[in-house]
């Protein structure tokens, strides 16, 4: 037996934790990408995140209002034991890491020695390398709660400060990093100003509404905003989130239950209002994206709205087609977190949403339910062209990106 | 088929694990009591590096005889390895997911001879 025995080599990274380099964390994804030849594929990740609160003092220095900016400076320099200045949200209820089981969700404390670009550029590049992504859309994380902020002015101050900081300090560091500008949707006139200010800024490829909010998307006060976004030629995205204080979700005692429902529920409500009030008929060239709700909610809502619409057409007189037709032809969807426990149901979902043309790959890295490009590549019922469309070409068309990757 | 010498039994403390490169195959070797287990370091969920995760005791719901819940408890007699990518848990002894036994890790044979541990790849 001795002649056959070889020595084992201990793996250089025995356990992944919050200090592990992203490249080590995603080494399996990288290896998989090389085996599958992703270097020859355009891959666009339309939803990944950075943790902007790590850079909060930088961001709040961009607040325009001098008094609020000074308050932020004093708060950041002197206040202890408090979350970042002005941010609302769920404070200590962030259980995404399942009690330390998923370390990359908790923190990325890895060593970054590069000084020529912002730390977030380095972390994003490492993730792009690991996932074999050519373009990565960067979203904030704690700011996803801004739609529930009790001070609507603060949503304006912080979103403008963030957008300016991101486009001036971070995005210029890598041509593959792009963003959807965060809109202060609770103040429609300010949201309109944001579109006007950022529509032509480099690396801005669209606009984002954080979905956890109680404002109806069909309110007349948004029509000027939708017109401006339509004219910009860039899409509007509704990025899902959760709000555990919502009275219904507050009955859920687990993060599992609340998160499963919350990330779908907000977009179910907004999509219902979006379609039944005929926004696609009013703004036929306005492209909407529905981000991070998974996919299984879409066929449910299509069937539900179609069924009820036929009986109550007089309540939705702007529609000239079935609700599901608008949802499959006018709306784009990000895939993550893609539900895969029933492959027949998933195949049916892909057919119903016209996935080969309307579906966009998203990883949601570094969050606990992130997906790699292989979730699309490995699907047994898709042909190669559909996979290429979903992984990158649909996004390239929607966002007018270079199909050969960033220059 | 290739045999790899992993080390000696005494090099593994009770309740610990080590991850090895055995040629092109990454393998996690676990010790629970006097037994050793070897699992392929690929999570059946999305291919994550499951053996490079953390060990957690299995969690049980603490129900009384009237079916009232009194919270959750750790069961330290059942240890799970948790994939650090997405949190899927697998019983170190059986390799099976505690909520769905059809989802399981890929085992590799372990041999103990004269206090030496061997793992067989490619069987």
Per CB-CB distance under 8 Å, the chain B contacts of A7 are 4-5
Share of chain A above pLDDT 90, in %: 97
Q: What does the pLDDT look like over B69-117, one tens digit per residue?
A: 999 999 999 999 999 999 999 999 999 999 999 999 999 999 999 999 9
Which residue bears the tokens 């961001």? A59
Task: Kindly determine whether residue B20 and residue A371, on different chains, have CB atoms separated by under 8 Å.
Answer: no
Share of chain A above pLDDT 70, in %: 99
Helix (H, G, I), strand (E, B) or coil at B89: strand
Task: Please indicate, yes or no, if residue A36 is contained in any of the structural domains.
Answer: yes
Chain B neighbours among A 332-371 (CB < 8 Å)? 368-371
Q: How far is B86 from chain A (nearest CA, A)?
A: 5
Residue A211: which of A298, A271, A278, A162 has the closest Cα?
A271
* Predicted pLDDT at A92: 87
In sequence order, the 6+-apart residues with CB closer than 8 A to the CB of A114 are A122
Helices A152-165 & A188-198, crossing angle to 10 degrees? 10
* Predicted pLDDT at A4: 82
Question: At residue A2, does pLDDT exceed 70?
Answer: no
Indicate the number of domains in chain A: 1
Q: What does the pLDDT look like over A276-325, one tens digit per residue?
A: 999 999 999 999 999 999 999 999 999 999 999 999 999 999 999 999 99
Tokens of A334: 């990000």
Q: Which among A7, A32, A102 is the nearest to B84, CB-wise?
A: A102
Question: At residue A201, does pLDDT exceed 70?
Answer: yes
Report yes or no: B121 at the A interface, CB cutoff 8 Å: no
* Predicted pLDDT at A374: 98
Which of the residues A13, A14, A101, A364 would you substitute to probe the B interface, choosing the one with the greatest number of B C-beta atoms within 10 Å? A101
Question: At residue A1, does pLDDT exceed 60?
Answer: no
Task: Please indicate, yes or no, if residue A2 is contained in any of the structural domains.
Answer: no
Q: What does the pLDDT look like over A80-108, one tens digit per residue?
A: 888 899 999 887 899 999 999 999 999 99
* Predicted pLDDT at A3: 55
Report yes or no: B46 at the A interface, CB cutoff 8 Å: yes
Which of the residues A27, A28, A100, A337 would you substitute to probe the B interface, choosing the one with the greatest number of B C-beta atoms within 10 Å? A28
Tokens of A222: 């948004």
Per CB-CB distance under 8 Å, the chain A contacts of B41 are 11
Task: Please indicate, yes or no, if residue A250 is contained in any of the structural domains.
Answer: yes
Per CB-CB distance under 8 Å, the chain B contacts of A1 are 3
Task: Please indicate, yes or no, if residue A150 is contained in any of the structural domains.
Answer: yes
pTM for this model (two decimals): 0.97
> In the predicted model, what is the mean pLDDT of chain A?
97
Q: What is the mean pLDDT of residues A389-400?
A: 98
Task: Kindly determine whether residue A8 and residue B5, on different chains, have CB atoms separated by under 8 Å.
Answer: yes
Q: What is the mean pLDDT of residues B33-39?
A: 97
Q: For residues A236 and A198, give the distance between their C-alpha atoms in angstroms, rounded to a whole number.
A: 13
Q: What is the residue range of A185's domain?
A: 21-399
CATH number at residue A241: 3.20.20.140
Task: Kindly determine whether residue A13 and residue B52, on different chains, have CB atoms separated by under 8 Å.
Answer: yes
B37: enclosing H helix or E strand: strand B35-40
Per CB-CB distance under 8 Å, the chain B contacts of A104 are 84-85
Q: Identify the bridge partners of residue B55 per DSSP, sorted by sequence position.
A: B81
Task: Kindly determine whether residue B3 and residue A372, on different chains, have CB atoms separated by under 8 Å.
Answer: no
Task: Kindly determine whether residue B84 and residue A104, on different chains, have CB atoms separated by under 8 Å.
Answer: yes
Q: What is the mean pLDDT of residues A51-76?
A: 97
Q: Which among A15, A28, A103 is the nearest to B47, CB-wise?
A: A28
Share of chain B above pLDDT 90, in %: 98
Q: How far is A100 from chain B (nearest CA, A)?
A: 8
Question: At residue A407, does pLDDT exceed 90?
Answer: no
Q: For residues A359 and A375, give the distance between their C-alpha atoms in angstroms, rounded to a whole number.
A: 13
Per CB-CB distance under 8 Å, the chain A contacts of B84 are 16, 25, 101-104
Given the cut 0.90, state whether the ipTM is greater than it: yes
Q: How far is B115 from chain A (nearest CA, A)?
A: 15
Domain B2-121 falls in which CATH fold? Answer: Rieske Iron-sulfur Protein (2.102.10)
Give one word for A275, left, alpha or beta, with left for phi > 0 and alpha for psi -120 to 50.
alpha
Report domain extents, chain B: 2-121
Helix (H, G, I), strand (E, B) or coil at B82: strand
Which of the residues B18, B42, B85, B102 would you substitute to probe the A interface, choosing the one with the greatest number of A C-beta atoms within 10 Å? B85
Tokens of B103: 């989802």
Q: What does the pLDDT look like over A342-390, one tens digit per residue?
A: 999 999 999 999 999 999 999 999 999 999 999 999 999 999 999 999 9
């Amino acid at each position: 037996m001795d002649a056959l025995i070889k020595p084992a080599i201990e793996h250089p990274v025995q356990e992944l934790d919050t200090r592990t380099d992203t490249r080590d964390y995603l080494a399996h994804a990288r290896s998989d990408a090389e085996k599958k030849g992703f270097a020859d594929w355009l891959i666009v990740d339309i939803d990944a995140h950075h943790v902007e609160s790590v850079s909060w003092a930088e961001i709040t220095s961009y607040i325009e209002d001098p008094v609020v900016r000074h308050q932020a400076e004093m708060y950041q320099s002197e206040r202890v034991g408090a979350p970042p200045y002005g941010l609302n949200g769920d404070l200590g209820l962030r259980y995404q890491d399942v009690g330390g089981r998923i370390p990359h969700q908790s923190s990325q404390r890895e060593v970054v020695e590069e000084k020529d670009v912002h730390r977030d550029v380095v972390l994003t590049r490492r993730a792009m390398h690991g996932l074999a992504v050519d373009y990565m859309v960067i979203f904030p994380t704690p700011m996803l709660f801004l739609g529930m902020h009790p001070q609507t002015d603060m949503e304006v101050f912080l979103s403008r400060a963030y957008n300016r900081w991101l486009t001036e300090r971070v995005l210029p560091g890598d041509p593959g990093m792009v963003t959807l500008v965060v809109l202060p949707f609770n103040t429609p006139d300010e949201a309109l100003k944001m579109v006007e200010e950022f529509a032509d800024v480099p690396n801005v490829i669209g606009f984002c509404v954080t979905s956890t909010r109680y404002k109806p998307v069909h309110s007349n006060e948004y029509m000027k905003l939708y017109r401006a976004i339509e004219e910009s030629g860039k899409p509007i995205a509704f990025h899902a989130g959760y709000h555990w204080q919502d009275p219904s979700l507050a009955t859920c005692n687990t993060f599992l239950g609340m998160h499963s429902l919350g990330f779908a529920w907000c977009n179910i409500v907004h999509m219902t209002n979006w379609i039944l009030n005929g926004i696609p008929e009013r703004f036929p060239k306005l492209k909407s994206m529905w981000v991070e709700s998974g996919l299984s909610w879409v066929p449910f809502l299509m069937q539900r709205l179609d069924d009820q619409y036929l009986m109550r057409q007089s309540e939705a007189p702007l529609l000239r087609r079935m609700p599901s037709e608008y949802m499959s032809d006018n709306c784009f969807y990000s895939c993550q977190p893609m539900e895969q426990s029933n492959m027949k149901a998933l195949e049916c979902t892909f057919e119903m949403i016209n996935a080969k043309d309307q579906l966009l790959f998203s990883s949601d890295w570094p969050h606990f339910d992130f997906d790699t490009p292989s979730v699309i590549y490995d699907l047994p019922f898709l042909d190669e062209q559909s996979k290429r469309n979903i992984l990158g070409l649909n996004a390239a068309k929607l966002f007018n990106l270079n199909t050969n990757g960033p220059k | 088929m290739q045999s790899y010498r992993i080390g000696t039994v005494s090099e593994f403390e009770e309740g610990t694990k080590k991850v090895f490169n055995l040629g092109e195959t990454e393998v996690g070797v676990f010790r629970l009591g006097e037994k050793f287990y070897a699992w392929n370091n690929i999570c059946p969920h999305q291919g994550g590096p499951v053996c490079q995760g953390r060990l957690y005791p299995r969690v049980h719901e603490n129900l009384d005889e009237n079916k009232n819940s009194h919270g959750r408890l750790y069961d330290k007699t059942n240890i799970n390895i948790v994939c650090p990518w997405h949190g899927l848990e697998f019983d170190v002894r059986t390799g099976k997911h505690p909520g769905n036994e059809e989802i399981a890790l890929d085992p590799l044979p372990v041999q103990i001879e004269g206090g030496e541990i061997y793992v067989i790849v490619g069987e």
